[in-house]
Every structure is written in C-alpha cells, then in structure tokens.
C-alpha cells in the first residue's frame, strides 16, 4: 500500500515543491512505495524558477508540477495521507484543515523548517546557491524518511521517528 506524504508551505512555490520532487525522486530510485504531494494554504499559482532549476539539475522530472491548494487534499477523493510535513514556519503556525487518511487515525504531522531560499541575497547566483543548498538539506531528510520501515510503524512510533529526523 502506498504511503502518501503531503508537504505544505504557504505559497507552494519553492520549499514544498523541492520536497515533493526530492521525496518522489528518491522513492523511485530506492523502489519504495511512497508518493509525495505538495500544496499551500495560500498557493501563489506559480512555481519558483529557481526551485524548478535546482530539481532539474538534480535529474528530477518536474513535468506536471503546479502550485496547488491544500484544499485538494481534504476530501474523500484525495489520496489517503499518512504524513503531513510543513516546511515553512508560517505554514506550521496555521491551523491545518482535516486531511483524509483512509483510517481512523489522522495523518502524522511534523514540522521540518527551512529558511526561504527566495530571500537569498546576491542576485540570481545567490538564489541559485540558496536553492541548491536547500534542495540538498531536504534530500537528506527525505532519505532518512525513506529509511524508516513506514509500513510497520504505528502512528506514535512514526511521529517520534519524524521528530528525530527534524532534529538532525
């Protein structure tokens, strides 16, 4: 059974998109049945070009990626979510809607904050560098997530493991 992970950031244009791309990329490479999705509470409607560039440079296929609302993941037609990860502090401070998990237990929620690479100084080259460093940091945590025995962990165990990754 596929483990669905929703990654949230306010505008769904940079950090959540980097996270979706890296988790799906590594899950496919490692043969793990994990599927990442990303969304935002106030989606910008566009993806940051530096996020797309960083993913493309890491051989991640970004075809079909778009900025979308977290509302797409609240109904019964949404994929059953096991994990919800916030990657920006403003999204973590918001009250999330109720997400569909496909079971009586709600999805496990965790905050893995990253500074906004869109605010990097140094013009386009500074932003490229910041996005690449953010992509690498995200990739490291996604590999840790994929190393977990997701199909065997109970909610409390999964929450504890995700918190441990958050502190790494």
Strands, sheet with 81-86, edge to edge from the N-terminal-most edge strand: 34-39, 3-8, 81-86, 108-111
- pLDDT score recorded for residue 94: 60
Q: What percent of the chain has pLDDT over 70?
A: 93
Instruction: Name the residue range of residue 157's domain.
Output: 3-166
Q: What percent of the chain has pLDDT over 90?
A: 83
Q: Tens digits of per-residue pLDDT, 10-22? A: 999 999 999 999 9
Number of domains in the chain: 1
Q: Tens digits of per-residue pLDDT, 73-112? A: 988 889 999 999 999 876 555 666 767 667 778 899 999 9
Which single residue is written with the structure tokens 């996020």? 51
Which residue would you say has higher pLDDT here, 102 or 159? 159
Helix 49-57 / helix 123-146 crossing angle, nearest 10 deg: 60
- pLDDT score recorded for residue 76: 82
Query: CA-to-CA distance for 34 and 158, rounded, in angstroms?
Result: 15
- pLDDT score recorded for residue 165: 97
Bridging pattern class, strands 3-8 and 81-86: parallel
* 154, 76 Cβ separation under 8 angstroms: no
The enclosing domain of 127 has a CATH number of 3.40.50.2300
């Amino acid at each position: 059974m596929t483990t669905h992970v929703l990654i949230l950031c306010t505008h769904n244009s940079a950090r959540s998109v980097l996270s979706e791309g890296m988790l799906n990329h590594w899950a496919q490479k490692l043969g793990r049945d994990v599927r990442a999705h990303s969304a935002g509470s106030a989606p910008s409607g566009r993806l940051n070009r530096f996020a797309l560039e960083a993913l493309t440079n890491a051989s991640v296929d970004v075809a079909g990626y778009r900025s979308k609302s977290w509302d797409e993941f609240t109904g019964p037609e949404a994929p059953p979510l096991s994990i919800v990860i916030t990657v920006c502090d403003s999204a973590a401070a918001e009250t999330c809607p109720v997400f569909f998990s496909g079971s009586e237990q709600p999805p496990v929620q965790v905050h893995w904050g990253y500074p906004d690479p869109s605010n990097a100084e140094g013009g386009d080259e500074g932003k490229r560098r910041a996005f690449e460093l953010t992509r690498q940091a995200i990739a490291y945590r996604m590999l840790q997530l994929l190393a977990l025995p997701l199909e065997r962990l109970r909610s409390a165990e999964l929450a504890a493991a995700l918190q441990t990754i958050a502190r790494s």
